[in-house]
């Protein structure tokens, strides 16, 4: 039997069955490559460019309008070139000193909500204009989150946890009741595009949307972090806080 010792060979059959190894004159001349081990959800270090050295990138200030990625930290406003991992200065109209942590979307529009400061963005002109809500007028965008279908506001004020659901058609917020757990805020809730997670220090959970049930989640490479510091460029998930910069590697 003649077998070409070609490194591109991925399988060999004998009598119609695939074999794991081939010997010739008592010497093994080919062996099927072992399958690559499944990579768990792992956080790895990440490097960025363009920001002043004194400005430490925090994921809680990063947001998107659906097309571009921005970093908004008071008077520090930047836009990201995803292809080069480089940040450059960005100008806005109507609102120039604001924070990305208060920006959120209902899937159609982009809003800035910081207590009684309520704005909506026109992406085509980079202009912010005043926005009015019904049922709830004083809230922060960092407490807004979604399960992929509905928009919720979950905050803690006056010594209690408050939960609301949004009717987009009328811009109206109504009280929302949760089963199993009421003691959480939307600040630490995030998604990888598939699942919804709650990350608050060492408390790491994943949500079963169909039953509104949270269960423990295990991560590798990074186990203690806050959901407010996670963000995405549309392709990857990052965790950014001070000098700690990570990218999430999925299986």
Which has more pLDDT, 88 or 26? Answer: 88
Q: Which two tokens stand for residue 243?
A: 């000098």
Distances (CA, A) of 168 to 38, 134, 135, 157, 191: 41, 11, 12, 24, 21
Q: pLDDT category, 36, cuts 50, 70, 90?
A: low
Q: pLDDT category, 75, cuts 50, 70, 90?
A: very high
Q: pLDDT category, 7, cuts 50, 70, 90?
A: low
Instruction: Give the pLDDT score at 1.
Output: 47
Which has more pLDDT, 183 or 118? Answer: 118
Name the pTM for this structure: 0.67
Which has more pLDDT, 23 or 225? Answer: 225
Kindly report the average pLDDT of the chain as a whole number: 88
User: In the predicted model, what is the mean pLDDT of residues 174-179?
Assistant: 84
Long-range contacts of the stretch 63-70 (C-beta < 8 A, 24+): 63/100, 63/103, 63/231, 64/232, 64/233, 64/234, 65/110, 65/121, 65/123, 66/105, 66/110, 66/123, 67/123, 69/231, 69/233, 69/234, 70/100
Domains of the chain: 1-35 (no CATH), 42-249 (2.110.10)
Taking 60 as the threshold, does the pLDDT of residue 5 lie above it? no
Instruction: Give the pLDDT score at 84.
Output: 95
């Amino acid at each position: 039997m003649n077998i070409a010792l070609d490194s591109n060979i991925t399988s060999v059959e004998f009598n119609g069955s695939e074999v794991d190894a081939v010997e010739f004159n008592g010497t093994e001349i080919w062996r099927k490559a072992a399958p690559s081990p499944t990579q768990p959800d792992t956080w790895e270090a990440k490097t960025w460019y363009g920001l002043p050295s004194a400005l430490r990138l925090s994921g809680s200030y990063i947001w998107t309008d659906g097309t571009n990625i921005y970093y908004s930290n008071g008077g520090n406003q930047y836009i990201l070139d995803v292809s080069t991992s480089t940040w450059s200065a960005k100008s806005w109209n109507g609102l120039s000193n604001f924070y990305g942590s208060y920006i959120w979307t209902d899937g159609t529009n982009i809003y800035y909500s910081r207590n009684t400061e309520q704005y909506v963005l026109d992406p085509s002109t980079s202009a912010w204009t005043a926005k009015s809500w019904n049922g709830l007028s004083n809230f922060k965008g960092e407490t807004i989150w979604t399960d992929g279908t509905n928009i919720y506001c979950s905050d803690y004020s006056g010594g209690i946890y408050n939960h609301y659901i949004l009717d987009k058609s009328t811009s109206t917020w109504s009280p929302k009741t949760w089963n199993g757990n009421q003691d959480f805020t939307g600040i630490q809730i995030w998604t990888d595009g598939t699942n919804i997670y709650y990350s608050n220090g060492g408390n790491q959970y994943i949500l079963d949307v169909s039953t509104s049930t949270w269960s423990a989640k295990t991560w590798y490479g990074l186990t203690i972090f806050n959901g407010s510091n996670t963000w995405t460029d549309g392709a990857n998930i990052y965790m950014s806080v001070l000098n700690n910069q990570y990218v999430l590697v999925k299986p």
